[in-house]
Each structure stands twice: as C-alpha cells, then as structure tokens.
Amino acid sequence: MNDNSFDCPFCGKSFPLIKDTFSITHIYFINGMTGRLAMLNTSQAKMNFRNEKNSVNFIMYKCPSCEKTSFEMVGIGTDFNGQPRFNIYPKNDGHINYPDFVNKYVRNDYEEAYSILKLSPKSSATLSRRIIEEVIEDFYGISKGTLFNKIKTLESKNEAANITNELNAIRQVGNIGAHFNLDANKIPNDVSTEEANLLLQVVEDIINETYVRKHDVESRKISIQQLADKFKNKKQ
C-alpha cells in the first residue's frame, strides 16, 4: 500500500483509493465531548490533531474486485505514542487469498481444493498433488518424469531443502505418501479429510517458500535500492 492505492488482503488485488473504495472517519474525545470528522483522502488523514490525546482514524477499504471490505483503526492521538495500527478483517472461509504473483493455475487449483476439502477429500487431495507438481514444473523448471522423480530431481539440486524435507516426510505417511507414486487421476478412494487437509498445508508451505518468498525478497531489493537512490540524490 502507498498513499494512492491499497492491496486487498482477501484477493491480493491492488486498487486506487477513491471515493468508491476508501473512506476515513476521524474520531476523537476532547473536553468531555466525542466528535467525528469524515475525510476523503490520505492527505486529510495526515492532518495534525496535536490537541487530541486519544483520537483515532477509522479507515475502510472496499475492494472493487472481490467486493470485500477491510477495516483499519489507526491511533493518532498523543496517548498512542507511535501510531499503532489495528487491522480488522471480516472472517473468510480460511483459505489464503494469494496475490497475482502466484501462478494462476496454482491459485485456482488451491482454491478449488480447499473448497471441496470436506465434501470430497479424494478430489481435494488429487488437486493438491497436482499443485505440488505444477509448482515444481513452473517455479523450478523440472518437467520430466513422475512427481516422485521430480521431487528426487529437486532434492538432488539442493535448491529447496525446506520443501524437499517436507515432501519426503509426507511421502512416509502411509497412504498419503503413496499418492506421489501414482498418476494424478489414480488417487485411492479412501483418502480421509485429515490426509487431504495435510496435503493442503504442504501446498501452502510450498507456495510460501517459492512464489511468496521470491516476491518478498525482490520487493525488499527494490525498497533498498530506492532508499540508496534517495540518499545518493541528497548528497548530490
């Protein structure tokens, strides 16, 4: 997020802060009275309220893509000492809403696998298995062989110790481990909800260790470079 946009915590989409997506209400208590002041933009949110000890800004962000609303309460009065920010997000169904930098097919399969977890554990496990294979192919460029062989190839490259350790641990858990040796369409019918849920947790770990971690590292590099450029320009 910057002063002009906000990244939705539900769908990951970035949207501009305009009257249809954004509002701020300044709430304060001073001289025995409670007051409210509606504001329209982030510039107004930075107005100086030095005489107020316990005032806050209540901020609403409505995403035009998923139409979900996020809330923030920002303490700006002197009593808050550092402007603490409290996020208030409505409860969702529990799955992670990955942003666009995660492969589209991985995101779609993950959301579907989560949505049918209790309804059809076998179908959910089949999708999770496919996601693991998709990530290995897309992120690491390993496309030959079965999923079992792809994991072995990834392990031999020593590029993803956290991932391969977890995958190998899962492979040792009886029935669920056997899924890695089978074709994606031949998952046994006796998959339990617990097994399917475990696979989904592995999927989340893998996505976080690949796409999310890469994005975070690249974002930090950009921020550091921007900071360096800023100091460089000041010296000139």
Write the secondary structure of the chain as one string of H (helix), E (strand) and C (coil): CECCEEECCCCCCEEECCCCCEEEEEEEEECCEEEEEEECCHHHHCCCCCCCCCCEEEEEEECCCCCCEEEEEEECCHHHCCCCEEEECCCCCCCCCCCCCCCHHHHHHHHHHHHCCCCCHHHHHHHHHHHHHHHHHHHHCCCCCCHHHHHHHHHHHCCCHHHHHHHHHHHCCHHHHHHHHCCCCCCCCCCCHHHHHHHHHHHHHHHHHHHHHHHHHHHHHHHHHHHHHHHHHHHC
**pLDDT value of residue 193:** 84
- Average pLDDT in the 113-138 region? 85
In this predicted model, what pLDDT tens digit does every residue of 26-66 receive, in sequence order? 887 766 556 666 655 555 555 555 556 777 888 888 888 87
Q: Is the pLDDT of residue 173 over 70?
A: no
Q: Rounded mean pLDDT of 178-191? A: 59
Q: Looking at 23-37, 38-52, 88-102, 125-139, which range is the least confident one?
A: 38-52
Q: What is the CA radius of gyration of the chain?
A: 23
What percent of the chain has pLDDT above 70? 70
193 exposed, middle or buried (CB, 10 Å; 0-12, 13-18, 19+)?
A: middle
Residue 2 has pLDDT above 70, yes or no: no
pTM recorded for the entire structure: 0.55
Q: On the CB side of 74, how many CA atoms lie within 13 Å of its CA?
A: 15
Tell me which of 167 and 117 has the higher pLDDT: 117
d(CA 49, CA 26): 10
- CA-to-CA distance for 4 and 221, rounded, in angstroms? 22
Inform me whether the pLDDT recorded for 179 exceeds 70: no
- Model pLDDT, residue 36: 65
Q: Is the pLDDT of residue 186 over 50?
A: yes
Tokens of 216: 């975070």
| Half-sphere exposure for 205 (CA within 13 Å, toward CB) | 15
- Give whole-number Cα distances, 58 to 22, 55, 68, 80, 160, in Å: 11, 10, 17, 14, 43
Model pLDDT, residue 174:
45
Angle, helix 121-140 to helix 147-157, in steps of 10 degrees: 40
Q: Which residue has the higher pLDDT, 158 or 135?
A: 135
